[in-house]
Chains A and B, each alone.
Chain A
Amino acid sequence: MSAPQWDLPPELCCRPMAFVALTGLDVVYNAVHRAIWDAFCANRRADRVPISFKVLPGDHEYPKCRTKRTSYEWYIPKGILKTGWMNKHLNLVPALVVVFYELDWDEVQWKEKQSECATRVEIVRTSLQGRNTKVAVVLIQKKTPLPPGEDLIASERAAALCNACDLSGKSLFVLPHTDHLVGYIIRLENAFYEHAQTYYYTEIRRVKSHKEFLNKTTHQLLFVRHQFKTAFFSELKQDTQNALKYYRTAYNLVHELRAHETNMLEIKTMAGFINYKICRLCFQHNTPLDAIAQFRKHIDLCKKKIGSAELAFEHAAWMSKQFQSFGDLFDEAIKLGLTAIQTQNPGFYYQQAACYAQERKQLASQLCPQEGSANSTGPDPLETPTGTLDFYGQRPWRQGHQSIDPPDPEKEKVGILALQRRERGVLHSELIIALLSNAVAQFKKYKCPRMKSHLMVQMGEQYYHAKDYTKALKLLDYVTCDYRMERWWTLLTSILSTALRCSYLMGQVKDYVTYALELIGRAPASTLRDDQKSRIEKNLIKVLMNEVPEAEPDCDQAAARAAHDLWAARVSLAGSNELAIEVQDYVPFVQCKAKFLSPSFHVDVPVQLHVYLKADCPHPIRFSKLCVSLSNKEYSQYCVIEESCQSNDILEPSTQENMCLVPGKMRKYSFKFVARTEDVGKKIEITAVDLMLGSESGRCVFLNWRGGGGDAASSHEALQASRSFRRRPSRPDNQLDWDTISIQANTMIISRVPRISVQLRHEPPALNNEMYCMVVTIHSQEDAVAKDVKLTAGLKPGQDANLSQTTHVTLSSSEMCDDSHPALLPDISLGDLQPGQKIEKPLYIRCGTIGSRIFLVHVSYAVHTIVEDKEIVCKCHKDETVTVETVVPFEVAIKLVSTKFEHLDRVYAEIPFLLMADVLSASPWPLHLETSELQLAAPMAAVGQLESPLEQVVLQTGECASECFCLKCPPVANGTSGVASGRYVISWKRKSAGENVPVVRTVITLPHVIVETIPLYVHAGPPAAARPAALNPLWSPPLKDAPRPRHCSASGVCIIMNLKSSFITAGGGKVRLRILPGAEQEMLYNFYPLMAGYQNLPLLNINLVRFPGFTSQLLRRFLPARIFVKPQGRQADDSFIAAA
Chain B
Amino acid sequence: MAVCIAVIAKENYPLYIRSVPTEDELRFHYTVHTSLDVVEDKISSVSKALVDQRELYLGLLYPTEDYKVYGYVTNSKVKFVIVVDSSNTALRDNEIRSMFRKLHNSYTDVMCNPFYNPGDPIQSKAFDNMVSTMMVQVS
How far does the Cβ of B29 sit from chain A's closest Cβ, in whole Å? 5
The yes or no answer to B23 lying at the interface (CB within 8 A) is no
The yes or no answer to A865 lying at the interface (CB within 8 A) is no
**Closest A residue to B35 using CB positions:** A450
The yes or no answer to B61 lying at the interface (CB within 8 A) is yes
The yes or no answer to B12 lying at the interface (CB within 8 A) is yes
Tell whether A343 pairs with B26 under 8 Å between CB atoms, given A451-B34, A725-B115. no
Which of these, B12, B17, B65, B115, contacts A486 with CB under 8 Å? Answer: B12
Q: Which residues 1-32 of B sit at the A interface, judged by CB distance below 8 A?
A: 11-14, 17, 25-26, 29-30
Q: Which residues 77-128 of B sit at the A interface, judged by CB distance below 8 A?
A: 114-115, 117-121
The yes or no answer to B43 lying at the interface (CB within 8 A) is no
Q: Please give, as numbers and ranges, the residues of chain A lying within 8 Å of B29 by CB-CB distance.
A: 488, 490-491
Q: Which residues 459-502 of A sit at the B interface, judged by CB distance below 8 A?
A: 486-488, 490-491, 494
Q: Please give, as numbers and ranges, the residues of chain A lying within 8 Å of B118 by CB-CB distance.
A: 723
When chains A and B are docked, how far (Å) is the Cα of A299 from the Cα of B66?
12
Q: Please give, as numbers and ranges, the residues of chain A lying within 8 Å of B14 by CB-CB distance.
A: 487-488, 490
The yes or no answer to A719 lying at the interface (CB within 8 A) is yes
Tell whether A720 pairs with B120 under 8 Å between CB atoms, given A352-B64, A488-B13, A491-B26. yes
The yes or no answer to A454 lying at the interface (CB within 8 A) is yes
Measured as residues with beta carbon below 8 angstroms from the partner, the interface class of chain A is 20 to 34
Tell whether A352 pairs with B65 under 8 Å between CB atoms, given A342-B41, A723-B119. yes
The yes or no answer to B37 lying at the interface (CB within 8 A) is yes
Q: Please give, as numbers and ranges, the residues of chain A lying within 8 Å of B62 by CB-CB distance.
A: 343, 348
Scoring B29, B30, B114, B117 by chain A CB atoms within 10 A of each residue's CB, the highest score goes to B30
When chains A and B are docked, how far (Å) is the Cα of A488 from the Cα of B119?
14
When chains A and B are docked, how far (Å) is the Cα of A476 from the Cα of B25?
20
Measured as residues with beta carbon below 8 angstroms from the partner, the interface class of chain B is 20 to 34
The yes or no answer to A8 lying at the interface (CB within 8 A) is no
Q: Are A725 and B117 in contact (CB under 8 A)?
A: yes
Binary flags per residue of A593-628, CB closer than 8 Å to B gives 1, else 0 = 000000000000000000000000000000000000
Q: Please give, as numbers and ranges, the residues of chain B lying within 8 Å of A490 by CB-CB distance.
A: 14, 17, 25-26, 29
**Closest B residue to A719 using CB positions:** B119
Q: Are A342 and B37 in contact (CB under 8 A)?
A: yes
Q: Please give, as numbers and ranges, the residues of chain B lying within 8 Å of A716 by CB-CB distance.
A: 119
Q: Are A725 and B114 in contact (CB under 8 A)?
A: yes
Q: Are B65 and A447 in contact (CB under 8 A)?
A: no
Q: Please give, as numbers and ranges, the residues of chain A lying within 8 Å of B114 by CB-CB distance.
A: 725
**Closest A residue to B27 using CB positions:** A454
**Closest A residue to B41 using CB positions:** A342
Q: Are A454 and B119 in contact (CB under 8 A)?
A: no
Binary flags per residue of B42-80, CB closer than 8 Å to A gives 1, else 0 = 000000000000000000011011000000000000000
The yes or no answer to A647 lying at the interface (CB within 8 A) is no
Tell whether A491 pairs with B30 under 8 Å between CB atoms, given A724-B117, A725-B115. yes
Q: Are A494 and B117 in contact (CB under 8 A)?
A: no
Q: Please give, as numbers and ranges, the residues of chain B lying within 8 Å of A723 by CB-CB distance.
A: 117-119
Q: Please give, as numbers and ranges, the residues of chain B lying within 8 Å of A719 by CB-CB distance.
A: 119
Q: Are A454 and B30 in contact (CB under 8 A)?
A: yes
The yes or no answer to A448 lying at the interface (CB within 8 A) is yes
Scoring A299, A451, A716 by chain B CB atoms within 10 A of each residue's CB, the highest score goes to A451
The yes or no answer to A681 lying at the interface (CB within 8 A) is no
The yes or no answer to B38 lying at the interface (CB within 8 A) is yes
Tell whether A454 pairs with B34 under 8 Å between CB atoms, given A343-B61, A487-B11, A490-B29. yes
Binary flags per residue of A721-746, CB closer than 8 Å to B gives 1, else 0 = 00111100000000000000000000
Q: Please give, as numbers and ranges, the residues of chain A lying within 8 Å of B41 by CB-CB distance.
A: 342, 447
Q: Please give, as numbers and ranges, the residues of chain A lying within 8 Å of B30 by CB-CB distance.
A: 454, 457, 491
- Which 9 interchain pairs have the tightest Cβ spacing? A487-B13, A448-B37, A451-B34, A343-B62, A724-B117, A450-B34, A450-B37, A454-B30, A454-B34
Taking A486-B11, A488-B33 as known contacts, 13 extra A-B pairs with beta carbons closer than 8 A to each other, sorted by chain A number, are A342-B37, A342-B38, A355-B65, A447-B41, A448-B34, A454-B33, A487-B13, A490-B14, A491-B29, A719-B119, A723-B117, A725-B114, A725-B115
Chain B residues with CB under 8 Å of chain A are 11-14, 17, 25-26, 29-30, 33-34, 36-38, 41, 61-62, 64-65, 114-115, 117-121
A-B contact pairs, 16 of them (CB 8 A): A299-B65, A348-B64, A447-B37, A447-B41, A448-B37, A448-B38, A450-B34, A454-B33, A454-B34, A487-B13, A488-B33, A490-B25, A491-B29, A720-B119, A725-B114, A725-B117
